[in-house]
């Protein structure tokens, strides 16, 4: 059983570093900031490697200082009901307020069933709060969505008023075919405006949307259809991603055949004609089931009554990906998720009404739910939605889009950052430490509109952080390096731009209402500088409530490992200043001769080598050490493989971490197996590393399936 600390002591332990930051003399801050910016990589291994926000940025920030953060954080921990009910009451519309109890929770399996409830009894609707409420506040003519096609030169936009009309038309159509409150709707769409429109239309009528990333195989889609038994499947005929055409309707057709074999037949498949990818006459069609979106939806009225729902009524199901066996259907409810995503978006990006926001994530993942659709629109933001590949037609496309729409907040994944570094960086190396940044793909564009950058999905290594900060952001844009999960609904540990200095690669400090604790194998909380298992004490409004149809698995996976806590499954270190460093999934921790080594730590060391563009590390069985370290390494474009370079890469890990962390195998990798969202499929890498080539499983979600054959061919080189 973990030792428990009084709430005020916990708060003090979390924040004594912030209090010490507040007392830093401005001169020291400026010197550290200057050194960090100018020296770049040379400071990557410095213990006190702070990057300070500029005074000008801090002065205009929503949270301008550690003092302000400390004040709000303390209240959020000591009086969570008062803190969150104050935000919920003042910033959202409720048809009916909740009862006396703001929050009811049990996170201890020893005391009964796990239960988390926020604002129960409160009646609201998240679509109404995203659209109607903002229109009533005077934002009817503000741009809600800018849409950028895969092909340069093709675009569209919708104001908040126009978006509401489109949402209502689809909501009315769904009602006409029998979709009611609580019914599931499977959505298999690419990043067209119709994707957030569909999510909002479902929410408006109380239906539960389940967006499936339009890159999953027909088998994976069928699994989800069978599990949630939707009333309708919504898709489009095809999409262009880069130079490729992907026939989504064909995938859906195969999935519907498979689901029918398992007893789940779908009566309606609503299909949007994406003319830029495929004409309707070339689309395979099943009469009586398939319906063209354009033929029916525009005929419906542009107003639709709101279905008012309880705060604890389901909002959406999102199935986790990449694991074997039955996918986990993460269930989020309405009220707490609404309040939490809106609040995290507002503060973690220092949102202003004039901002233009672009998150590169797909709505098939949680990031696209919380920080493409709901979080931004609850704040009345202008959002960019991009259909295509980030390096099409070349690696300058992201910055072209930034300039075109005057994007001010840019939120993306470390994998994309590293990919763009590799594709476009004509970096030269000085003394093996400092990069001179001459990337034409970045520097040919202004990017002057940018003021905040963001990172999501995995720990960002310091060298990628610096490239992102120094080159993309011109050494002036704070980076919100966010840590959170599908299950958490929103940011948990994140910088607040302007509030405190950053350390490249650190997620820094907890968001309001979040109590992260680091525990040892016995579940005992560890104070001060330490490493261990990351857990969360107490609930927060955005937490998921169950796994759909499998509450026992929910409890076993997340609450039974360390009773009394939510177990994140991640490893974490806290440094002497209190900054949090995520070390990767616990199942990505390699135990080498008794040393627990986070894969992210080894990857960061490898990528700090000037000739290494990207690295992915997995554990393999070792007859002497228990586990060995197996590193897949992608080199900077044009750098040849060599035994000398292999030794140099191993040496840099030895020097930065220690001899015990030196990779046993460097496997040259022209590319890494990634989903189209940029997530590295480590399951596949483990199978290749252990030569279990007959167990690779489904690789249909990979952006480049051919990479797998390349890696196998290079296995013994």
Q: Residue 13: its pLDDT value, please? A: 54
Q: Does position 649 have pLDDT exceeding 90, yes or no?
A: yes
267 is catalytic: no
What burial class does residue 141 get, using C-beta atoms within 10 Å of its C-beta: 0-12 exposed, 13-18 middle, 19+ buried?
Answer: exposed
Which of 32-36, 202-206, 625-629, 692-696 has the largest mean confidence?
202-206
Q: Does position 29 have pLDDT exceeding 60, yes or no?
A: no
For residues 587 and 534, what is the distance between their CA atoms, to the nearest angstrom? Answer: 13
Tokens coding 452: 């905040």
Q: Is the dihedral of CA 254, 257, 263, 265 positive or negative?
A: positive
For residues 201 and 166, what is the distance between their CA atoms, to the nearest angstrom? Answer: 9
User: How many Cα atoms within 13 Å fall on the side-chain side of residue 522?
Assistant: 6
Calculate mean pLDDT across residues 263-291.
Answer: 97
Q: Does position 651 have pLDDT exceeding 70, yes or no?
A: yes
Angle at 57 between CA 146 and CA 62, to 5 degrees: 75
Tokens coding 278: 């495929």
* Residue of higher predicted confidence among 512 and 49: 512
- Lowest mean pLDDT across 231-235, 251-255, 637-641, 698-702: 698-702
Query: Given the DSSP bridges, would you call strands 208-211 and 566-574 parallel, antiparallel or unpaired?
Result: unpaired
For residues 47 and 32, what is the distance between their CA atoms, to the nearest angstrom? Answer: 12
Tokens coding 125: 């609707």
Q: Strand runs (DSSP E) across 483-544, as ranges?
A: 515-519, 530-537
User: How many Cα atoms within 13 Å fall on the side-chain side of residue 189?
Assistant: 30
Q: Residue 322: its pLDDT value, please? A: 36
Tell me if the bond preceding 598 is cis, omega within 30° of 0.
Answer: no
Calculate mean pLDDT across residues 590-608.
Answer: 81
Calculate mean pLDDT across residues 190-204.
Answer: 98
3-state secondary structure of 222: helix
Residue 673 backbone zone (phi > 0: left; psi -120 to 50: alpha; other: beta): beta
Catalytic residue among 100, 587, 664, 709: 587
Question: Rounded to two decimals, what is the model's pTM?
Answer: 0.85
pLDDT in tens, 89-147: 999 999 999 999 999 999 999 999 999 999 999 999 999 999 999 999 999 999 999 99
For residues 31 and 34, what is the distance between their CA atoms, to the nearest angstrom? Answer: 5
Q: What is the phi/psi pair of residue 502, to 5°?
A: -100, 160
For residues 90 and 87, what is the distance between their CA atoms, to the nearest angstrom? Answer: 5
Question: For residue 594, what pLDDT band results from cuts at 50, 70 and 90?
Answer: low
For residues 259 and 253, what is the distance between their CA atoms, to the nearest angstrom? Answer: 10
Domains of the chain: 125-129+157-330 (3.40.50.980), 593-714 (3.30.300.30)
Q: Does position 24 have pLDDT exceeding 90, yes or no?
A: no
Residue owning tokens 């309001």: 512
User: How many Cα atoms within 13 Å fall on the side-chain side of residue 379?
Assistant: 27
Q: What is the phi/psi pair of residue 401, to 5°?
A: -65, -40
For residues 537 and 606, what is the distance between their CA atoms, to the nearest angstrom? Answer: 34
Contact 342, 542 (CB under 8 A): no
Q: How far is CA 668 from CA 423, 590, 614, 638, 677, in A?
A: 17, 20, 11, 13, 23
- Lowest mean pLDDT across 35-44, 458-467, 481-490, 628-637: 35-44
How is residue 20 annotated by DSSP?
H
Q: Is the dihedral of CA 226, 232, 235, 236 positive or negative?
A: positive
Calculate mean pLDDT across residues 396-402.
Answer: 97
Contact 185, 235 (CB under 8 A): no
Q: Return the bridge partners of 566, or none.
A: 536
């Amino acid at each position: 059983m973990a030792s428990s600390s009084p709430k005020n002591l916990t708060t003090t332990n979390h924040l004594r570093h912030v209090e010490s930051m507040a007392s830093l003399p401005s001169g020291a801050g400026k010197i550290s900031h200057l050194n960090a910016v100018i020296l770049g990589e040379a400071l990557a291994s410095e213990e006190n490697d702070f990057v300070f926000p500029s005074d000008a940025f801090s002065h205009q920030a929503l949270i301008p200082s550690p003092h302000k953060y400390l004040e709000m954080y303390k209240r959020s921990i000591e009086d969570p009901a008062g803190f969150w009910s104050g935000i919920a009451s003042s910033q959202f519309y409720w048809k009916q307020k909740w009862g006396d109890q703001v929050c009811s929770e049990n996170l201890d399996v020893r005391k009964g069933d796990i239960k988390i409830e926020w604002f129960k009894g409160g009646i609201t609707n998240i679509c109404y709060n995203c659209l109607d409420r903002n229109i009533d506040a005077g934002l009817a003519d503000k741009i809600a969505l800018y849409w950028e096609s895969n092909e340069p030169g093709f675009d569209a936009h919708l104001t908040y008023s126009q978006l509401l009309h489109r949402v209502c038309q689809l909501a009315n159509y769904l009602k006409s075919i029998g979709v009611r409150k609580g019914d599931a709707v499977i959505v298999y769409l690419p990043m067209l405006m119709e994707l957030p429109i569909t999510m909002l239309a479902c929410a408006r009528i109380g239906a539960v949307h389940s967006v499936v990333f339009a890159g999953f195989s027909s088998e994976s889609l069928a699994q989800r259809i069978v599990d949630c038994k939707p009333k309708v499947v919504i898709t489009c005929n095809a999409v262009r991603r880069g130079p490729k055409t992907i026939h989504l309707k064909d995938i859906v057709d195969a999935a519907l055949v498979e689901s029918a074999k398992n007893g789940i037949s779908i009566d309606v498949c609503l299909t949007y004609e994406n003319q830029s990818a495929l004409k309707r006459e070339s689309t395979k069609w099943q009469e009586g089931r398939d319906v063209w979106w354009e033929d029916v939806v525009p005929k419906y009225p542009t107003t639709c009554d709101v279905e008012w729902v309880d705060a604890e009524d389901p909002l959406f199901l999102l199935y986790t990906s990449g694991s074997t066996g039955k996918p986990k259907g993460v269930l989020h409810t309405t009220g707490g998720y609404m309040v939490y995503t809106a609040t995290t978006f507002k503060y973690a990006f220092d949102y202003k009404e004039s901002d233009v926001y672009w998150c590169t994530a797909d709505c098939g993942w949680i990031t696209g739910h919380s920080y493409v659709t709901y979080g931004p629109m609850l704040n009345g933001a202008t959002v960019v939605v991009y259909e295509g590949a980030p390096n099409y037609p070349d690696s300058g496309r992201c910055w072209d889009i930034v300039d075109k729409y005057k994007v001010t907040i840019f939120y993306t994944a470390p994998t994309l950052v590293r990919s763009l570094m590799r594709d476009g960086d004509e970096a030269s190396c000085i003394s093996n430490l400092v990069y001179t940044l001459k990337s034409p793909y970045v520097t040919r564009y202004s990017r002057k509109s940018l003021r905040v950058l963001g990172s999501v999905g995995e720990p960002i290594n310091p060298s990628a952080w610096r490239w992102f900060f120094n080159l993309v952001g011109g050494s002036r844009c704070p980076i919100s390096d966010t840590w959170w999960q599908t299950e958490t609904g929103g940011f948990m540990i994140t910088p607040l731009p302007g509030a405190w200095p950053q350390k490249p690669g650190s997620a820094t400090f907890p968001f309001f209402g979040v109590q992260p604790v680091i525990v040892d194998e016995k579940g005992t909380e560890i104070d001060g500088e330490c490493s261990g298992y990351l857990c969360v004490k107490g609930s927060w409004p955005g937490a998921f409530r169950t796994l759909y149809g499998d509450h026992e698995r929910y409890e076993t996976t997340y609450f039974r490992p360390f009773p009394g806590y939510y177990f994140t499954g991640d490893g974490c270190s806290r440094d002497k200043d209190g900054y949090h460093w995520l070390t990767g999934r616990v199942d990505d921790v390699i135990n080498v001769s008794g040393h627990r080594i986070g894969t992210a730590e080894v990857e960061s060391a490898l990528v700090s080598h000037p000739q290494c563009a990207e690295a992915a590390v997995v554990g393999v069985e070792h007859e002497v050490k228990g586990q060995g370290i197996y590193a897949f390494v992608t080199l900077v474009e044009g750098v040849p493989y060599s035994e000398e370079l292999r030794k140099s890469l191993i040496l840099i890990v030895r020097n930065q971490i220690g001899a015990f962390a030196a990779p046993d195998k460097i496997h040259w990798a022209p590319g890494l197996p990634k989903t189209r969202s940029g997530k590295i499929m480590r399951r596949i890498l483990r199978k290749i590393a252990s030569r279990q080539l007959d167990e690779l499983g489904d690789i249909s979600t990979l952006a480049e399936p051919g990479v797998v054959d390349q890696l196998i061919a290079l296995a013994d080189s």
